[in-house]
Amino acid sequence: MKTMQKSSSICTLEVPVPTCSMGFTLLEILVALAMGFIFITALFTLIIHQTKSHEDHQMKVMMQQNGRAALAVIGNDLMLAGYSPVPRDDGGSGRLATFRVAGMTHMDFTFDANADGDIDEKDSAENNIYIERTVLEYFDASNQLGRNNNTNRLLQDVEAFRVLYAYDADDLGAGSGSYGVLEKEADAVRWAYDSTPEDTELKLTHYYTLDAAGKLAGDDVAETPIEGPDPSLDRIRAAKIWLLIRSNKRKAQNTFENQVDFIPDFSVRGLDTANYSYRLYTTTVKFRNMYY
C-alpha cells in the first residue's frame, strides 16, 4: 500500500532593495523652506496692509463724524441769528438782534432767546458765558475753530474755515419782486463779507459771485462799484460756509485722496494730500429771522 505524500511549495516575493537610503534631498528641503518663507511673508504683508487700511478708515470716519457734528452745531446756532419776536424794550430804533461781525473767518451775532425785548449777552457779570450771543472764530495759528468764549474749542485740526454772506438791499415796501430776493450780479447771487470786521462801520465791503459748481465766477466784484452804499450787516439774509478738516495724524498708507478744488481766499494747492487726509464740508444757511 502506497502512502500519499503532500508536497507544499513556498512562494517568495522579492522586494527590490533601493540603491540609496530613503529621505529628502537637500534641494527639496531648501525649496520647501523657500515656499514656506514666501507664504509667511505674504501672510504678514496682508495683515500689515489690512491693519493700516483699518487705521486710515477709522481716522476718516472720526473726521467725518467730527465735521458733521461741528457743522450741525454751527447750523443750529445760525438759525437763531436775528431772532427777536417782540419789540425792543429800550425804545430804540433798528434791529434788536443782528450780526455784529460778518468776517470771512469770524462771525458774531445776537438773538432774543427769551423774547423779553432785550439782549442778555452774558448770564451774569461774574460768569462770562454767552447766552443770547454766538461767536464763531477760526484760529489759523492753532488750526482750531472756537465757539463763544469757551476755552475748549469747538473743533480741532481745522485746515480752513471760510464764510461768505448773501444780503437783500430792499425793504418790505419794495414789493415781492425785490424784497426777500437775494442781491445778484449777472444772475448769480452776490456773496460778500466785511474785510475790516474790527471797525465799527458794520458793513459788507467785498463781493464775489459763484458759478453753478460753487467756485468763484467773479473775483471781488466790488472793484466795479455797486449801486448805492455798502449794505449794513442788518441786510444779511444767508451765509455759505466752507469747513476743511485735516486728519490728526499722518496716513498709514499713501492712498488716493479726493482733491479739494475751491475754498474762498485759501490756496488748496498747498494741501499735503500725500501724508494727510482732508474732508471738505459746505453748507448754506438762510436767516429767516433776519427778515423780521
Average pLDDT of span 147-156: 86
Q: What is the model's pTM? A: 0.77
Q: Which residues contact 13 (CB under 8 A, 6 or more apart)?
A: none
Flag whether 96 is in a domain: yes
Flag whether 97 is in a domain: yes
Banded pLDDT at 98 (limits 50, 70, 90): very high
Residue 225 has pLDDT above 50, yes or no: no
HEC profile of 52-92: HHHHHHHHHHHHHHHHHHHHHHHHHHHCCCCCCCCCCCCCC
Please give the pLDDT value at position 292.
Answer: 66
Flag whether 136 is in a domain: yes
Flag whether 21 is in a domain: no
**Of 2 and 25, more confident:** 25
**Of 219 and 36, more confident:** 36
The rounded distance, in Å, linking the Cα atoms of 266 and 65 is: 24
84 within 8 A of 96, measured Cβ to Cβ: yes
Flag whether 69 is in a domain: yes
The rounded distance, in Å, linking the Cα atoms of 242 and 181 is: 23
Flag whether 23 is in a domain: no
Question: Structural domain tally of the chain?
Answer: 1
Residue 197 has pLDDT above 70, yes or no: yes
Mean pLDDT of the chain: 81
Flag whether 210 is in a domain: yes
Range of the domain at 272: 52-291
pLDDT digits (tens, 9 = 90+) for 208-218: 888 777 777 65
146 within 8 A of 130, measured Cβ to Cβ: no
Residue 8, strand partner residues: none
Flag whether 88 is in a domain: yes
The rounded distance, in Å, linking the Cα atoms of 107 and 102 is: 5
- 10 Å CB burial of residue 265 (0-12, 13-18, 19+) is middle
Average pLDDT of span 180-203: 86
